[in-house]
Amino acid sequence: MAKKTGEKYQNIIEAAVKVIAQHGYHQAQVSKIAREASVADGTIYLYFDNKADVLVSLFKEKMGAFVQATRERIELLERADDRLRELIYMHLWQMSQNRDWAIVTQIELRQSDPVVRAGINQALKEYLKLIDEVIFLGKEQGVFRENVEHRVARKMIFGTLDEAVTSWVMNDRKYNLVSLVEPIHNLFINGLKVEKQ
Amino acid sequence: MAKKTGEKYQNIIEAAVKVIAQHGYHQAQVSKIAREASVADGTIYLYFDNKADVLVSLFKEKMGAFVQATRERIELLERADDRLRELIYMHLWQMSQNRDWAIVTQIELRQSDPVVRAGINQALKEYLKLIDEVIFLGKEQGVFRENVEHRVARKMIFGTLDEAVTSWVMNDRKYNLVSLVEPIHNLFINGLKVEKQ
Amino acid sequence: MAKKTGEKYQNIIEAAVKVIAQHGYHQAQVSKIAREASVADGTIYLYFDNKADVLVSLFKEKMGAFVQATRERIELLERADDRLRELIYMHLWQMSQNRDWAIVTQIELRQSDPVVRAGINQALKEYLKLIDEVIFLGKEQGVFRENVEHRVARKMIFGTLDEAVTSWVMNDRKYNLVSLVEPIHNLFINGLKVEKQ
Amino acid sequence: MAKKTGEKYQNIIEAAVKVIAQHGYHQAQVSKIAREASVADGTIYLYFDNKADVLVSLFKEKMGAFVQATRERIELLERADDRLRELIYMHLWQMSQNRDWAIVTQIELRQSDPVVRAGINQALKEYLKLIDEVIFLGKEQGVFRENVEHRVARKMIFGTLDEAVTSWVMNDRKYNLVSLVEPIHNLFINGLKVEKQ
DNA sequence: TATGAATGAGCCTTCATTCAT
DNA sequence: CATGAATGAAGGCTCATTCAT
């Protein structure tokens, strides 16, 4: 039904990101997005099934690019621990590069209704799969412990990065997010404990 | 103006948790909460300023008890690493004990509007402070590394636990959440890396 | 049912005048009047049938005193034109003496619902009767023209005074209302026309 | 935001007059007005900012036409006393022509809240200005006395006409309002006093 | 394809009144 | 007589979606 291509399709998605970032999820009415995209309200329904579809599509498009960029970069590296560092870097760097997107993904889109949430979670799986791959590789390479539960490690990696970005956005991005790459990586690899002498 | 005590006050909060867990945030109308609490709609406004106040109060009450219970338990232990394990345990155990509360806190309340969010974040700070205390203690005791950034560690601990519970709720609680205590604690303490022989 | 006497009865009426003058008709809730009168909400219903009854009683009490005071004063005078001047004077003087009452009667009570209006109109009749008496006397005395329609003259007298007070209240009582007595009386007696030489 | 023109705009205003006249101000819900105008509730908000705006617009539209029609008619006449008679005639005639409008303007709209009142008073000023013009002209022409306070005269003229129409509406229009033109005019011009022989 | 005017379902909150104490 | 906690009905407004042009 909805033609999910074309210049206007992209325009609408960009407009939605901008409007949500600027006015917040609850003030991002269809008509406001339409105005920002310089189309009529009804035109949005030629490209999307409904408002939720706009939000899910937006997340999928952006998240798809996000994951792909990350994957391309980490696959240039050999060792799993280096890949992990690169994944952390890409996550924080990409978020810090796009102010609007960070606000939308960390704050605003979390207010959305169950339908949108379901779509978002679907899109997130691709990213979680990427994280899993790094963990599995690390085990294969003997770089990560065999007895690490990969599901737990995945939660730690994603949960920490997510919390880091949310916290950074909520604190009005007062510090350099990328500066957290090394401390986070260090913590993931070495844990909290003091090394035995 | 609002009398924030009494049996009805508690009833309304319990009713709100139940209704939100059962019907979702966007279907938790004041009248539905009132019916569940066996009071008239107007009675809610004798105890709360408005609907947002119900939600914020609910979170503060529950979160306050959550933090206090956790604090009481961990302070029985000496070592920071044991306290961390107890904190992880209490977090996961308390969430797994109360199905409704887990749904409300991990899924539904995140959809709330900025006013509610602000109140929630305020209440969360107390918990983050508790996590910080454990980290600082660990450094003092020489159990955790001095060079660990406590803000980063705090994000790791909270982010991981939060993600773990969310994931568990979203997967319809198919597994035992408390079984994650040891793997998570192990990961936090030892990190991913293989121990040198 | 309602016991329309006693100290509290008076207190409630005075409280109602004060609250309405201060907060406006639409912000004059029963509970606010009760608090001002230092009684419980329910107590009001021991002295009045309902809220409308408070307002009507209030108007009747005050208007009764208003009319009686006016009547007593004008009956001291012989000539109808002097009585008319005194009536104008009493109307404007009494209103200018009691700020709250002027606001209540000219602005706030006009916003009331039909039931209250009906009660007010009833109470007003006594005053209109007094005006009529002056007109009839004037005709008898040969001071006022016989061919003046008394109903029309009554409307002129009441309408003008009413408009004068309303206008004065709405302009924040910036001028001395009593200074209008002579001009108004003059206009009533002589009309607009230039006297023939 | 509100598009204050078009056929529907007029329809809604007419519907509002009808509904208010028929059911009273406090029973004139937006949905009732919408039904009467054969539009959806929401459509009203395409043409008006809110309910108060409907009422204020209604008054302004009607009052504007009222004043203009009166102005056009009186300006055909030379003498100020003739103009005054025409103004009285137009006031009473226009009111007696439109039963609903008379009820709305004399009874129902006076119950409105402060916001609406403010809008109404603004619109009334134009009419008071017209009355002033007649008074000034009369003085210039030597038809009215120079020492008549124009503000007082204005209050007499408006107050009397307003009271006459209100009284007529409240008495269920049992008599012919226009029959009051001559007596009122006579009273305004000649006053109450008996002419000296 | 594109438009944008029209639709109408849905909900938080107030406050006059009651009645058990 | 007096209290005041509890009741519950009622309505203005928003905004995603449609459809005639």
DSSP letter for each residue of chain A: -----SHHHHHHHHHHHHHHHHH-GGG--HHHHHHHTTS-HHHHHHH-SSHHHHHHHHHHHHHHHHHHHHHHHHTT--SHHHHHHHHHHHHHHHHHH-HHHHHHHHTGGGGS-HHHHHHHHHHHHHHHHHHHHHHHHHHHTTSB-TTS-HHHHHHHHHHHHHHHHHHHHHTTT-S-GGGGHHHHHHHHHH-SBPPP-
- C40 CA to E18 C1' distance (Å): 13
pLDDT at D123 over 70: yes
Q: What is the mean pLDDT of chain B?
A: 94
Report the DSSP beta bridge partners of residue A144.
B193
Looking at residue C74, its amino acid is I
Residue D172 has what pLDDT? 85
CA distances from A185 to A188, B183, B192, D185 (A): 5, 19, 10, 96
Tell me which residue has tokens 């205590």. B181
Residues of B with CB below 8 A from A160's CB? 155-156, 159-160
D135, D145, D194 member nearest C143 (Cβ): D194
Question: Residues contacting strand F at CB < 7 A?
Answer: A 26-31, 41-42, 45, 50-52; B 3, 6, 8, 31, 39-43, 45-46; C 3, 6, 8, 39-43, 45-46; D 27-31, 41-42, 45, 50-52
Q: What is the mean pLDDT of chain D?
A: 94
The tens digit of pLDDT for each residue in A91-115 reads 999 999 998 999 999 989 988 887 8
Residues of B with CB below 8 A from A170's CB? 121
Q: Which 3 state secondary structure label does DSSP give B144?
A: strand
Residue A27 has what pLDDT? 92
Cross-chain Cβ contact D170/C81 below 8 Å: no
Q: Is residue D135 a contact partner of residue D152, using CB atoms and an 8 Å limit?
A: no
Q: Does B196 touch chain A (CB under 8 A)?
A: no
Two structure tokens written together for A14: 């960009």
| CATH architecture observed for domain A1-49 | Orthogonal Bundle (1.10)
pLDDT in tens, chain C (197 residues): 677 788 999 999 999 999 999 999 999 999 999 999 999 999 999 999 999 999 999 999 999 999 999 999 999 999 999 999 999 999 999 999 998 999 999 989 988 887 888 889 888 999 999 999 999 999 999 999 999 999 999 999 999 999 999 999 998 889 999 999 999 999 999 999 997 65
Q: Is residue B67 a contact partner of residue B130, using CB atoms and an 8 Å limit?
A: yes
- Percent of chain D exceeding pLDDT 90 equals 83
Report the DSSP beta bridge partners of residue D144.
C193
- Cα–Cα–Cα angle for C144, C165, D24, rounded to 5 degrees: 105
- A5 CA to E10 C1' distance (Å): 34
Optimal mutation site among A156, A167, A168, A169, interface B, most CBs of chain B within 10 A: A156
- A174 CA to E7 C1' distance (Å): 46
Dihedral (CA of D32, D36, D40, D43) sign: negative
Q: How confident is the model at residue A130 (pLDDT cuts 50, 70, 90)?
A: very high
Cross-chain Cβ contact C110/D112 below 8 Å: no
Task: List helix spans (H) across chain C.
Answer: 7-23, 30-36, 41-47, 51-74, 80-97, 99-106, 114-140, 150-170, 181-190
For residue A48, give the nucleotide whose C1' atom is nearest its CA: F17
Q: Does D152 touch chain C (CB under 8 A)?
A: yes
Residue C197 has what pLDDT? 55
- B45 CA to F17 C1' distance (Å): 34
Residue A173 has what pLDDT? 87
- CATH code linked to domain A53-190: 1.10.357.10
Rounded to whole angstroms, the Cα distance separating C118 from D162 reads 18
Residue A166 has what pLDDT? 95
Q: Does C119 touch chain D (CB under 8 A)?
A: no
Nearest chain C Cα distance for residue D68, angstroms: 23
**Stretch(es) of chain A classified as CATH 1.10.357.10:** 53-190
| CATH architecture observed for domain B52-190 | Orthogonal Bundle (1.10)
CATH says C51-190 is which class?
mainly alpha
Q: How many CB atoms lie within 10 A of CB A184?
A: 24
Residue C5 has what pLDDT? 84
Q: Is residue D60 a contact partner of residue D123, using CB atoms and an 8 Å limit?
A: yes
Rounded to whole angstroms, the Cα distance separating A151 from A128 reads 10
- A154 CA to F2 C1' distance (Å): 67
Q: Does B143 touch chain A (CB under 8 A)?
A: yes
Two structure tokens written together for A48: 């999307």
Q: Is residue A66 a contact partner of residue A17, using CB atoms and an 8 Å limit?
A: no
Report the DSSP beta bridge partners of residue D149.
none
Question: Chain A residue with minimal CA distance to B23?
Answer: A114
Residue D43 has what pLDDT? 96
Instruction: Give the mean model confidence (pLDDT) for residues B6-30.
Output: 95
Nearest to B151 by CA among A179, A81, A91: A179
Which residues have CB under 8 Å from D126's CB, separation 6+? D63, D64, D67
Two structure tokens written together for C155: 């409307």
Cross-chain Cβ contact B192/A144 below 8 Å: yes
pLDDT at D112 over 90: no
For residue D47, give the nucleotide whose C1' atom is nearest its CA: E5
Q: Is residue B191 a contact partner of residue A135, using CB atoms and an 8 Å limit?
A: no
Task: List helix spans (H) across B107-143.
Answer: 114-140
Rounded to whole angstroms, the Cα distance separating D26 from B114 reads 35
Residue B197 has what pLDDT? 55
Residue C172 has what pLDDT? 86
Residues of B with CB below 8 A from A159's CB? 156, 159-164
Subunits with 3+ Cβ pairs within 8 Å of B are: A
Residues of C with CB below 8 A from D135's CB? 192
Tell me which residue has tokens 């049996």. B7
Subunits with 3+ Cβ pairs within 8 Å of D are: C
Q: Which 3 state secondary structure label does DSSP give D61?
A: helix
Instruction: Give the mean model confidence (pLDDT) for residues B158-166.
Output: 97
CA distances from A159 to A132, B59, B179, D159 (A): 13, 21, 18, 75
**Stretch(es) of chain A classified as CATH 1.10.10.60:** 1-49
Q: Which 3 state secondary structure label does DSSP give D171?
A: coil
The tens digit of pLDDT for each residue in D142-153 reads 999 999 999 999
